[in-house]
């Protein structure tokens, strides 16, 4: 797990119409490093084709349709970042969104020290970014789920 890396997870189902704009808004972020994961929940439209157009800038994962929460968990399972940010496939982010949140975490480290059942969760002004504490018995590694 790389603490400064933000894993941006985009759960999507039949999102070909807006997915490109959502991905562009992530790629337009002023904060680096980023990891972008598209978690396709069984789309039957051209979602996979839109995602493929981004090449190695994103990771595309597919599963049979199981619902949004399952798609989010698919992305979480593949995430390598110390922080997780979710973006719906039909939403956009302000270009400084992630940078502003990371600055806030640096200014207020107590936001990163909220313990819930042995897992760490951070919430800032926006509720879609979460720290991931990897917890395994021996080596402290496993993902926090927001659901």
- Give a yes or no: residue 120 inside a domain: yes
CA distance 112 to 20: 32
- Give a yes or no: residue 137 inside a domain: no
CA distance 125 to 97: 10
- In the three-class reduction of DSSP (H, G, I as helix; E, B as strand; rest coil), residue 42 is classed as coil
pLDDT tens per residue across span 35-72: 999 999 999 999 999 999 999 999 999 999 999 999 99
CATH number of the domain at 17, please. Answer: 3.90.550.10
Q: What mean pLDDT is predicted for residues 102-121?
A: 69
- Give a yes or no: residue 13 inside a domain: yes
Of 114, 115, 30, 129, which is closest to residue 83 (Cα–Cα)?
129
Statement: residue 97 has pLDDT above 80:
yes
- pLDDT of amino acid 112: 81
- pLDDT of amino acid 1: 64
Task: Indicate yes or no: pTM above 0.85.
Answer: no
- Give a yes or no: residue 142 inside a domain: no
- In the three-class reduction of DSSP (H, G, I as helix; E, B as strand; rest coil), residue 136 is classed as coil
Q: What mean pLDDT is predicted for residues 120-146?
A: 37
- Give a yes or no: residue 125 inside a domain: yes
Owning domain of residue 16: 2-131
- Give a yes or no: residue 138 inside a domain: no
Q: Look at the chain and report how many structural domains it folds into.
A: 1
- pLDDT of amino acid 94: 97
Statement: residue 21 has pLDDT above 80:
yes
- Give a yes or no: residue 70 inside a domain: yes
- Give a yes or no: residue 140 inside a domain: no
């Amino acid at each position: 797990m790389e603490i400064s890396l933000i894993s941006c997870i985009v759960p999507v189902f039949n999102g070909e119409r807006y997915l490109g704009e959502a991905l562009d808004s992530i790629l337009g972020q002023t904060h680096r490093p980023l990891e972008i994961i598209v978690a396709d929940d069984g789309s039957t439209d051209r979602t996979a084709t839109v995602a493929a157009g981004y090449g190695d800038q994103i990771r595309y994962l597919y599963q049979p349709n199981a619902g949004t929460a399952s798609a989010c968990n698919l992305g979480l399972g593949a995430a390598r970042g110390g922080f997780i940010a979710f973006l719906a496939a039909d939403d956009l982010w302000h270009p400084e969104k992630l940078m502003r949140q990371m600055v806030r975490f640096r200014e207020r480290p107590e936001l990163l020290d909220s313990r819930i059942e042995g897992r760490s969760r951070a919430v800032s002004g926006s509720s879609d970014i979460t720290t991931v504490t990897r917890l395994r018995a021996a080596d402290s590694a496993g993902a926090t789920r927001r659901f």
